[in-house]
Amino acid sequence: MGSLAAIPGRSLAGAERQVEWPADAGDVFARLARNRGCAWLDSAGGPAPLARWSVMTAEPSAVLITRGGTTRLAAPGGAVLEESRRNPFEVLREVLAACRFSGGEPALPFGPGFYGYLSYDLAPYVELTASLPPTADIPLPDLWFGLYDSVLVLDHAARKAFVVGGRGPAHDAIREALRASTDRAAAVKPPSTGGRTGPQACPDTRGFTAAVRQLNVDNVSCNMSPAEFRGAVARAREYIAAGDVYQVNLSRRYTVALLPEENREGAGLRWAGLYRRLREANPAPYAAYLDVGEGAVLSSSPELFLGLRGGHVVTRPIKGTRPLEPQDEAFNRRMREELLASEKDRAELVMIVDLERNDLGRVAAYGSVRVSEPRTVEAYAAVYHTVATVEGRLHQGRDVADLLKATFPGGSVTGAPKVRAMQIIAELEPTRRSVYTGAVGYLRPPSESEPAGGCALAIAIRTLLAAGDAVHIQVGGGIVADSDPEAEFQETSHKARAMLAALGLSP
């Protein structure tokens, strides 16, 4: 890609300025969503230590896109600045290295840099013997990252808000969204019962409601019938019995057809409205919204794929799920006990923890990889999960691109051994996954204090992919030797319900 001197805004400012805590973050988001490339990494719910930070931005100064084997650096208007046919992870390393902080580095965990996603379909660039299903029918890029010169960071624990970065298109969009939201909050009359104003319904989300009213089950299709999915589970068990793999993650995908949208602005507001429905139905600590121009990624992920800050790496794989009823403590206690007692769920998590340890060991300092939490139960909006924490320290001379190449895609959404599991997925799933089970989040360019760069990336599960006039919802689970095909089918149906509830539907 040459010298990459063409990157607009490649010199990033790390200055931070505290601003007034927004009365309604959803309203600020809805106003930002009117702009190009709106991004929101949204700690909407979940355990408090995980749901501390959120970050919003819009109007990237440049966009990096991979499609059909070509990676392009484009200006905001779409003009191609540079392009390459090389491995996208190497191009990403080069682009990150070309961006440097000037005048101080951000002290907060989020700041200017790259916000976007890596799709699961990049797997063959990491593991050359991995394969993908032949059908690619979701028209989203394999990689999309916007470069943002300024971001709004929310610290939910301290209830403090900061604008981090320098002047530029993102800064202007954030400033205007904050101003308009503050003016609106001041204009709302306090209710007679108290003096406080709660979150208000944003008029900018109404464009989606009209489409929802005309939806019904006839608008929903699936890429695998119940019989086909049960057959895929049975075939996966045969591979496990033959010793090919210990575990493989299989998924199926719902597609919801929407009414046509005539203009780009209307489509953006439609996706923003849908995201607000999703975060209400299924709030999560690693939720995200990304407007990528030709579509959007709307995620309510509970799972951290990779965190890298100051050379310290952490990953938190999830295996094991049980329902949670907010008003029924006796039921919840029974579900927690059942989850902890489940040998199947325990075995799945142990296998994935071993895989993650091995992956991190490729790029971590010798002896630094450790399992700091082997297994714990965490409560989310509607479910309990068992989660493990694996940590390490990045080896000197390695960077965030090396970390991605060593660990992507996440083991919890592939299986073990990883490469053979991906080959089986390619055989048994009829369509490519696109962003589903890839990674969504933030990539921080290298700096003097963090020469490896940094990242905060979530596994793209519980994720809606919006493209054209359709929304795609994919759900899966880990298949092991004693998996029951009918039970696995029912599990995927349960997981889809909260997602489809955001559309007013049920599977």
Q: Give catalytic residue positions.
A: 303, 319
The CA-atom distances, in angstroms, between 178 and each of 16, 19, 27, 30, 33 are 16, 9, 9, 11, 13
Mapping DSSP onto H, E and C, the string for 387-413 reads EEEEEEEECCCCCHHHHHHHHCCCHHH
- Cα 231 from Cα 146, distance rounded (Å): 40
Are 468 and 145 within 8 A, CB to CB? no
Which pairing describes strands 286-291 and 415-416: parallel, antiparallel, or unpaired?
unpaired
The CA-atom distances, in angstroms, between 199 and each of 1, 25, 78, 188, 251 are 46, 8, 36, 11, 36
The tokens describing 363, both together, are 């790029």
The tokens describing 346, both together, are 């325990």
Q: DSSP string spanning 256-288?
A: EE-----SHHHHHHHHHHHHHHHHHHS--TEEE
CA angle 62, 65, 70 (to 5 degrees): 130
| Largest CA-CA distance found in the chain, in angstroms, rounded | 69
Share of the chain residues as helix, strand and coil, in percent rounded to the nearest 5: 30, 30, 35
- Cα 173 from Cα 426, distance rounded (Å): 42
| H-helix segments, 220-371 | 226-241, 264-281, 329-341, 343-361
Which pairing describes strands 11-13 and 100-102: parallel, antiparallel, or unpaired?
parallel
- Cα 401 from Cα 453, distance rounded (Å): 9
Q: How many CA atoms lie within 13 A of 231 on its CB side?
A: 9
Are 39 and 212 within 8 A, CB to CB? no
Give yes or no for a cis peptide into 409 (omega within 30° of 0): yes
Identify which of 61, 70, 110, 71 has the alpha carbon closest to the alpha carbon of residue 92. Answer: 71
Residues in contact with 57: Cβ distance below 8 Å, sequence separation at least 6, in sequence order: 32, 38, 39, 115, 148, 150, 151, 152, 170, 173, 174
